[in-house]
């Protein structure tokens, strides 16, 4: 990093979101002048002598050792994401699930207890209910949007309160400040999966949340070509997670870190378009006579519309809905769309449609799934950035 670069970037935290998304964490290469951050496609880093190698291992000297322990392309991504989320530090990993699992494993031990929302991404639910319980960590699944349920579930050994807001795929919101205040008063760490909103629309650290994580596969990448995850928090918490994550081994590749750096530069413009398109489509669906329910936090009919306006800067691109004809009608719709792709994942520039009960949440036992509000008829739409009239026309045609 050049001195000039440092001077310019000194005040980056005070700049607007889009400026941070473009510039934070990245400077032109001081040797070649390359504007784009190089992809340091290397597994190892050469030491000048034995003392230097030993000092780096002992933490007496900064510098790179081996890409599983850190890499300059990964570092640029972590610095950018920490600034975008308003955190002190970040850790990039090979998938959203690598982030979820590293956070939970690092912050709990045998005999501890987790309070988690019952509406969670399927693999997060099964990681907690199947894997963590096997290693002696108990999990109580409740509705974290009701503070009284959290109060009731907390025990002396509760270490983490974990939730998504909006939740995948029900679009239920959780009052972040209320949960953070309660958790802090009891010495419990709060963890939020902020995948659906991205830091452009929601910055949980500003509300007192301790740890923010993302499936960076989604809006952070934006282009449907990467699997990755990222965690943002205070420096000391990130160091605890980093120490565990290096042994778990879910390291992000330098190339994928670079793809995320590139994706992040356009996060704000992409998110604005996702939001604008989703609002139009949610309104279209809500007024359609074949549609029973639409779950989108930007509709005044959403039960937490007020909370959405309070803690989010936009409503995002994710919509869930049920058709009056239930599962059969939903299945027909998903089989008939042409522009919208029938595919899991979300947050891509392409519009994606899928059936949570048989796809992303198939791993959740039926009774738990229904308790979380994930009915057989629920269809999830990740609205892309195409021309909205074309998406509406595709849905209209398929509904007909």
What amino acid positions are annotated as catalytic residues? 68, 121, 193, 218
25 forms part of the interface with ligand PLP (CB under 6 A): no
Q: Does 316 bind ligand PLP (CB under 6 A)?
A: no
| Residues 193-212 contacting ligand PLP, CB under 6 A | 193, 195
* 82 vs 167, beta carbon nearer ligand PLP: 167
Residue 36, Cβ neighbours under 10 Å: how many?
12
39 and 26 Cβ atoms separated by less than 8 Å: no
User: Would you state the torsion angle of the CA atoms of residues 6, 71, 83, 58, taken in this order, to the nearest 10 degrees?
Assistant: -80
Binding of residue 245 to ligand PLP (CB under 6 A) = no
If the CB atoms of residues 119 and 189 are measured against ligand PLP, the closer one turns out to be: 119
The piece of 66-74, 118-126, 265-273, 294-302 that touches ligand PLP (CB under 6 A) is 118-126
Of residues 247-276, those binding ligand PLP (CB under 6 A) = none
Please identify, among the stretches 7-15, 17-25, 28-36, 90-98, the one whose residues bind ligand PLP according to the rule CB under 6 A.
Answer: 90-98
- Token pair recorded at residue 277: 């398109």
Cis preceding-peptide flag for 166 (omega within 30 of 0): yes
Does residue 348 touch ligand PLP according to CB under 6 A? no
CB of 202 vs ligand PLP, minimal distance in Å: 13
Q: 37, 71, 95, 158: which one contacts ligand PLP (CB under 6 A)?
A: 95
Looking at the DSSP bridge assignments, the partners of residue 192 are: 163, 212
Of 27 and 126, which CB lies nearer to ligand PLP in the complex structure?
Answer: 126
Q: Which is nearer to ligand PLP, 250 or 330 (CB)?
A: 250
Of 17-25, 55-63, 93-101, 103-111, the segment contacting ligand PLP by CB under 6 A is 93-101
Of 116-124, 231-239, 260-268, 369-377, the segment contacting ligand PLP by CB under 6 A is 116-124
Contact 84, 21 (CB under 8 A): yes
- Nearer Cβ to ligand PLP, position 95 or 253? 95
Tokens representing 284 are: 């279209």
Compare residues 85 and 164 and give the one whose CB is closer to ligand PLP: 164
152 CB-side CA count, 13 A: 9
Answer yes or no whether residue 97 interacts with ligand PLP by CB under 6 A: yes
Cβ neighbours of residue 355 under 8 Å, at least 6 residues apart?
330, 331, 334, 378, 379, 380
Residues that bind ligand PLP (rule: CB under 6 A) add up to a total of: 14
Sign of torsion, CA 3 1 87 265?
Answer: positive
Q: Give the footprint of ligand PLP on residues 151-190 (CB under 6 A).
A: 164, 168
Whether residue 326 contacts residue 377, with contact meaning beta carbons closer than 8 Å, is answered with yes
What does DSSP assign to residue 37? P
> Encoding tokens for residue 18?
């889009």
The residues with which 230 forms a beta bridge, in sequence order, are 92, 214
Residue 74 lies near ligand PLP (rule: CB under 6 A): no
The DSSP H or E segment spanning 388 is helix 388-399
- Both tokens of 10, joined, read 């000194």
Closest contact distance (angstroms) between CB of 276 and ligand PLP is 22
Residue closer to ligand PLP by CB (options 124, 158) is: 124
Report residue 260: phi and psi, to 5°: -70, -40
Taking the complex as a whole, the smallest distance from the CB of residue 51 to ligand PLP amounts, in Å, to: 40
Q: How far apart are CA 315 and CA 293, in angstroms?
A: 17
Question: If residue 280 lies in a helix (H) or strand (E), which one and from where to where?
Answer: helix 267-286
Residue pair 293/241 in contact by the 8 Å Cβ criterion: no
Binding mask 272-291 for ligand PLP (x = CB under 6 A): --------------------
Q: Are strands 89-93 and 291-295 parallel, antiparallel or unpaired?
A: unpaired
Assess 96 for contact with ligand PLP (CB under 6 A): yes
Q: Which one of 70, 199, 229, 316 is in contact with ligand PLP (CB under 6 A)?
A: 229
191/399 with CB nearer ligand PLP: 191
Q: Which stretches of the chain bind ligand PLP, using CB under 6 A?
A: 95-97, 121, 123-124, 164, 168, 193, 195, 215, 217, 227, 229
């Amino acid at each position: 990093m050049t001195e000039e670069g440092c001077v310019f970037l000194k005040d980056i935290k005070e700049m607007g979101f889009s400026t941070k998304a473009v510039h934070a964490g990245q400077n032109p290469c001081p040797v070649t002048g390359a504007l784009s951050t190089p992809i340091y496609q290397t597994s190892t880093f050469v030491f000048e002598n034995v003392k230097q190698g030993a000092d780096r291992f002992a933490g007496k000297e900064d510098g790179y050792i081996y890409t599983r322990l850190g890499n300059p392309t990964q570092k640029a991504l972590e610095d950018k994401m920490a600034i975008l989320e308003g955190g002190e530090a970040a850790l990039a990993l090979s998938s959203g699930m690598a982030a979820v699992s590293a956070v939970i494993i690092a912050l709990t031990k045998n005999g501890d207890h987790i309070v988690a929302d019952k509406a969670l991404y399927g693999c997060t639910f099964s990681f907690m209910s199947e894997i963590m319980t096997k290693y002696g960590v108990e999990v109580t699944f409740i509705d974290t949007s009701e503070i009284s349920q959290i109060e009731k579930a907390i025990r002396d050994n509760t270490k983490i309160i974990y939730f998504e807001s909006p939740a995948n795929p029900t679009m239920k919101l959780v009052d972040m400040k209320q949960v953070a205040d309660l958790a802090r008063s009891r010495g419990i760490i709060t963890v939020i999966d902020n995948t659906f909103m991205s830091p452009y629309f929601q910055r949980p650290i500003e509300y007192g949340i301790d740890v923010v994580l993302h499936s960076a596969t989604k809006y952070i990448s934006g282009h449907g070509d990467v699997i990755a995850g990222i965690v943002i928090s205070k420096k000391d918490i990130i160091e605890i997670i980093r120490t565990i994550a290096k042994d778990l081994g879910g390291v992000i590749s330098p190339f994928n870190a670079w793809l995320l750096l590139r994706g992040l530069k356009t996060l704000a413009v992409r998110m604005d378009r996702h939001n604008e398109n989703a609002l139009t489509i949610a309104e279209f669906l809500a007024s359609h006579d074949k549609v029973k329910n639409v779950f989108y936090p930007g509709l005044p009919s959403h039960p937490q519309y007020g909370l959405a306006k309070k803690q989010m800067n936009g409503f995002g691109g994710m919509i869930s809905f049920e058709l009056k004809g239930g599962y059969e009608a939903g299945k027909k719709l998903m089989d008939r769309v042409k522009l919208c792709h029938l595919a899991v994942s979300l947050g891509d520039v392409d519009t994606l449609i899928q059936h949570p009960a048989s796809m992303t949440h198939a791993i959740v036992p039926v009774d738990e799934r229904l308790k979380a509000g994930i009915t057989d008829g629920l269809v999830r739409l990740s609205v892309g950035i195409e021309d909205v009239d074309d998406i509406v026309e595709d849905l209209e045609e398929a509904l007909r």
